[in-house]
Amino acid sequence: AYLDETRLFGIIKTAMAFYEALFETPMPYQKYEVVYVPQFRIRGMENVGMVCMKEDFLAPPSLMTHANDLQHRKVIVHELAHMWFGDLVTMQWWNDLWLKESFADFCASICLKHCCASDHNVALLLFRYFLFVFISHYFAFVIVARCPTHTLNKSMSSSLPCSTRSLTQAFSVEA
């Protein structure tokens, strides 16, 4: 595994300054750690003051494509956004998880646009990403409009569901 600490810390410092200005609140925690986890099944997961990420992001620059590099930056700034919106301010219960994740995606996108404005590759990849999201969401909305679906905000009992499968099914589209 390869880690370019200077690059990683540069992204985090720039994004942290951006979020502190955006939210008009300093970093809410005394420390911020990034841990790369072998065989981690998701790209990233925030905890208070610490983020876990896939070890796959530790590829040497010579092996990392522009798309992989952008994805790594996006995960870094997405998870960092959760320090303010997701950890400091959090939803009342699990049925609003979509809001926390959507807002972190939104914040990550404007953060990347601000922090990497001079990088033509990032601008082009962000454009392609938004085009893909727009097209995929358009078709999802067309499907949802034509068939019965589950509600987006499903009521939950006072205890956690016995499996995550029951939670993810609550938000699936049935054809």
Would you call 79 a catalytic residue per the annotation? yes
Helices (H), the chain: 5-23, 66-81, 97-115, 120-146, 164-169
CB proximity list for 99: less than 8 A, separation 6 or greater: 91
Contact (Cβ atoms closer than 8 angstroms) between residue 153 and residue 95: yes
Sheet-wide strand order for 44-47: 33-37, 50-54, 44-47
Q: Which of 24, 33, 79, 101 is catalytic?
A: 79
pLDDT at 174: 41
The segments of the chain whose pLDDT lies below 50 read 162-175
What pTM value is reported for the model? 0.71
Contact (Cβ atoms closer than 8 angstroms) between residue 66 and residue 139: no
pLDDT at 172: 41
C-alpha distance from residue 22 to each of 27, 54, 100 (Å) = 11, 27, 16
pLDDT at 91: 75
Average pLDDT of every residue of the chain: 77
pLDDT at 147: 61
